[in-house]
């Protein structure tokens, strides 16, 4: 699975303004709802918040991978956002989250959903990659860094 094939350039948010978990989710869902008319922003954020109740998707080391399944989608879609200041996302290590990959999948789509989550997790284990994301100066640089790392993993 190639993340660069399911992450549209317009779904990369260079600088999140959010200060709460809910705000982060709204900011990351907004470009996806623009790109995919079948995706209702409010309903999608509620699905993600319900998923967060099962356990935080803030995995630690400044990373969160919020994800969920929703009716009406035909494919797995991803957005990415960066918060330079960091957001309290109830991460497992208690530290602020700076790098967010948000993943939405169609209901009943376990295979590609899990493959995408695994690929993103593998990519983010690389500390130089995470540093490159934090140092990027534009959304285009962020996308390029993600596409480059995607090719390596």
Residues serving a catalytic function are 67
Q: To the nearest 10°, the Cα dihedral for 136, 142, 144, 145? A: 70
Contact 9, 143 (CB under 8 A): yes
Calculate the CA 92 to chain-centre distance: 17
Q: Is the dihedral of CA 149, 103, 58, 81 positive or negative?
A: positive
Contact 80, 147 (CB under 8 A): no
- Locate the DSSP E strands across 14-149: 58-60, 63-64, 67-70, 77-87, 97-106
Contact 67, 51 (CB under 8 A): yes
């Amino acid at each position: 699975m190639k993340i660069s094939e399911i992450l549209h350039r317009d779904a990369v948010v260079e600088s999140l303004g959010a200060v709460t978990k809910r705000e982060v989710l709204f900011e990351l869902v907004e470009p996806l709802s623009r790109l995919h008319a079948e995706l209702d922003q409010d309903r999608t954020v509620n699905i993600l918040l319900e998923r967060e109740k099962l356990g935080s998707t803030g995995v630690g080391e400044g990373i969160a991978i919020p994800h969920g399944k929703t009716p009406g989608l035909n494919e797995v879609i991803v957005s990415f956002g960066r918060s330079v200041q960091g957001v309290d996302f109830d991460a497992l290590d208690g530290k602020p989250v700076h790098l967010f990959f948000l993943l939405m999948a169609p209901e009943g789509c376990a295979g590609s959903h899990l493959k995408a989550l695994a690929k993103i997790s593998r990519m983010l284990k690389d500390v130089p990659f995470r540093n490159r994301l934090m140092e990027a100066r534009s959304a285009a640089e962020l996308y390029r860094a993600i596409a480059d790392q995607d090719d390596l993993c």
